Amino acid sequence: MEKNELQKQLKPAHVWAIAFGCIIGWGSFINPGKKFLPNSGVFGTAIAMVLGALVMIIIACSYSYMVPKYPKAGGEFTFTKECFGKTPSYFCGWFLVAAYLTNVPMNSTAIGLIVDGLDGSADILKWGFHYQIAGFDVYLGEILLAMAILIFFGLLNIWGVKKAGVMQTILAILLAVCAFTLCAAGIFSAKAKGINMEPVWGFDKAAAIASNATTANIGEFAHIGSKGILSAILATFAIAPWAFVGFDTIPQAAEEFKFSYKKVMGIMVIAIAFGCFVYVSNNTVAAAALENWPDRVMAGDWVLLIAAEELLGVFGKVLIGVGVSCAVLSGIMGFYLASSRLMFSMSRDGYLPAAFGKIDEKHGTPKNAMIFCIIVSLSGPILGREALGWFVDMSSIGASIGYFCTCAACIITLKKFGDGSAFLKIMAIIGVFFSIAFIVLQLIPIPGLSGVHFGKESYIMLIIWIVLGIAFFIAQRKKIMAKK
């Protein structure tokens, strides 16, 4: 084995677990109260997630075609380099780093929230010095626990991809069991009622809070009419690239597959379908189990945790604790793997410093790239949980650019080899269209559609990331152009 080649150790179950674990992170458990229910309600979220899943399956067709053609670590970066050249591939890779790497600190900031929700009034992590970011207190106890978890799972990735794959599979299975159990409780419990789901398209949270509204008069602030309903659906549909980012991590590990590439499409579809189910189920159960969920949303409560406890008592609280912990840890594990493999591939081709392209002789993993990912991820606990929304936006735009590059590269490759079907070409064209639509929805404010585009902080983070990308490109330009 050459020193710059990765070992083939991943089985189909491992790869499914990586994809599913990346798709379902903290957001499926925290966002029902934070984003989904107020922005889109039960109906709007369900429609947006199902449409998002269908679009992702369409885009996955391009991935399943491209992976066997270019079975190297790097995924979208590699596809873009082969089809469009060095400069476009660099910027595709740079934004993919944003999509994957921001998900690691994003998940880590949820660790303190998990403990805070489960320990009641004990506040076991609220000790040591603390400060505020965007109105939220960040405590030393929360920082240290999150950092310890980030370091441990980073080291696990360094110690071997097979060990990481086994751990990821265990976490993903536990996560699926928790989600299905909660769904069953929502279906069979008499406490879950359809009438509780009003307002089904969500409501204007800021206006409701400003007017001291309650569940009793929340209908005055509900999203109604064609524009209101469209805004409700698009508010969640626009972040579908973030919600489902993870199935596209599969090509990042293509060099380590210990199975036929023909299985890639099936693995992707199953992971996307599981992810869609968990998002829709968690959001619906959260509303159905609570008569006063709008009050809970406006109070900033962990709505799904309260709903689970209402349905199943203490077991419900334990169930959410196990489920969200598995989601967070599997997300950290999976995105560590995807980020490090992407940086390894970019380094191997001269796009990033050579140190990131070195393989650990003992474990066969890109050790230096992984250490860099750990260091960057440690920023999450320091920034605190309010940074979650900013990371979501950065991940969404990075994933959207990756989807666009893959679908566009698929069209070029189909023409080059002439071995694809007309159906695949149509799927690739549709994938390009939706990728552009996601980017437009995220970056450009559209009159009449509220809660869809980036917030101010996200625009600032995007500008900083672009400037850093340009700086890295200028610094590495000679090496990039010299590399064959």
> Mind giving me the DSSP string for 201-250?
T-B-HHHHHHTT--GGGGGGGB--HHHHHHHHHHHHHTTHHHHHTTGGGG
pLDDT at 484: 57
CA distance 379 to 51: 33
pLDDT level of residue 279 (50, 70, 90 thresholds): very high
| Per-residue pLDDT tens over the stretch 288-342 | 999 899 999 999 888 999 999 999 998 999 999 899 889 888 888 888 888 888 8
Annotation: CATH topology of 12-482: Amino acid/polyamine transporter I (1.20.1740)
Could you tell me the CA-to-CA distances from 62 to 43, 55, 58, 378, 397 in Å, in that order?
30, 12, 8, 34, 19
> H/E element holding 316?
helix 314-348
CA distance 343 to 406: 18
| Per-residue pLDDT tens over the stretch 329-375 | 888 888 888 888 888 888 888 888 888 888 888 877 888 999 999 98
Are 342 and 252 in contact by the 8 Å Cβ rule? The answer is yes
CA distance 80 to 77: 5
Please check the confidence at residue 482 and state whether its pLDDT lies above 90: no
Helix (H, G, I), strand (E, B) or coil at 139: strand
pLDDT at 1: 40
| Average of per-residue pLDDT across 165-173 | 87
Could you tell me the CA-to-CA distances from 60 to 269, 270, 424 in Å, in that order?
8, 11, 10
Helical H runs in 349-421?
367-377, 379-383, 388-417
Domain boundaries, the chain: 12-482
End-to-end CA distance of the chain: give it in Å, rounded.
Answer: 21
| Average of per-residue pLDDT across 176-193 | 90
Of 30 and 164, more confident? 30
Please check the confidence at residue 139 and state whether its pLDDT lies above 60: yes
CA distance 190 to 170: 32
Look up the pTM and report it: 0.85
Are 285 and 270 in contact by the 8 Å Cβ rule? The answer is no
In sequence order, what are the beta bridge partners of 257? 10
Residues 308, 313, 317, 320, CA torsion sign? negative
| Per-residue pLDDT tens over the stretch 8-27 | 778 888 889 989 988 998 78
| Per-residue pLDDT tens over the stretch 226-246 | 888 998 998 888 888 878 888
Are 153 and 160 in contact by the 8 Å Cβ rule? The answer is no
